[in-house]
Structure 1
């Protein structure tokens, strides 16, 4: 059925449910699993504010923080993968448009199913179907499993 499942996560509690479902499905189907996190780049406004606040290299500091967060997240994802008997490939992209990055990654890497949470960490829109999830659903031809 599905050969390569892309599991998108932002580290939120709900996204963790999506991760669990994606790993279980990959195990049941014997499919390859890739877990993707997309981080937004540091905006110029935030970098300028940081410089005004005395941070000499805000971009470098931001990159270090992202690296730390991703190491922690990947460690947890690897642990969950081991618990499910799935050796998932881990991927991280930096893009101001997470939905576009998810779709692009899935296409470029031959994923035939995208698993993601119904919403993540993005403002008021998370009360309904998340904006990134809605964007992925609207713009991809790859099947999407939305986890609530």
Structure 2
């Protein structure tokens, strides 16, 4: 039914469990997997006139975020490989993660977006819940929202 599934992750424990559920779902569908981490855009410090030498350049920031993205989606790629699924990971940059998730899914030819109802815990959980709602309201593709029955233990 589905040939390519985008699994959105933020690297949190909840998101990792959701991503594993997404890989299991992809296995049932025999679908390829695209794992996406959306990093925030680089922000110049606006509160000072001179950028301090310790502040990362835009290129240093992008390199660091790409490394973070790999660390977030590599375990999902490994899980997909253990199930003999084709899988790719992407780190994208945007201050509007929901829009970027929808955009990447369309650009990459995905036919389903798989994401959690919430990601980070605490205040971040509210934020990511709103990301899920925005994806649901803006996507023309089907969106499967996975809800964990039990929260993972704090790390």
TM-score, structure 2 as length reference? 0.81
What's the Cα RMSD here?
2.6
CA offsets 1:97-140 (integer angstroms, 9 cap, x no match): 11000001111122111001112238636249711101001111
For residues 121 and 43 of structure 2, what CA distance do their matches in structure 1 show? 16
Closer/same/farther in 2, CA of residues 67 and 105 from structure 1, 3 Å limit: closer
Closer/same/farther in 2, CA of residues 28 and 107 from structure 1, 3 Å limit: same
Give the match for residue 9 of structure 1: 9
Flag the structure with higher helix content. Answer: 1
| Structure 1 alignment gaps of length 5 or more | none
Q: Extract structure 1 runs of 4+ deviating beyond 4 A.
A: 46-50
Closer/same/farther in 2, CA of residues 64 and 50 from structure 1, 3 Å limit: farther
TM-score, structure 1 as length reference? 0.84
Figure out how many residues of one structure are paired with residues of the other and give that number: 147
For residues 33 and 143 of structure 2, what CA distance do their matches in structure 1 show? 14
| Structure 2 alignment gaps of length 5 or more | 148-155
SS state at 1:38 partner = strand
Give the match for residue 77 of structure 2: 78
1:1-148 → structure 2 map (5 Å cutoff): 1-45=1-45, 51-52=51-52, 54-55=53-54, 57-121=56-120, 124=123, 126-127=125-126, 130-148=129-147
Contact 1:47–1:59 (CA under 8 A) maintained in structure 2? no
SS state at 1:16 partner = helix
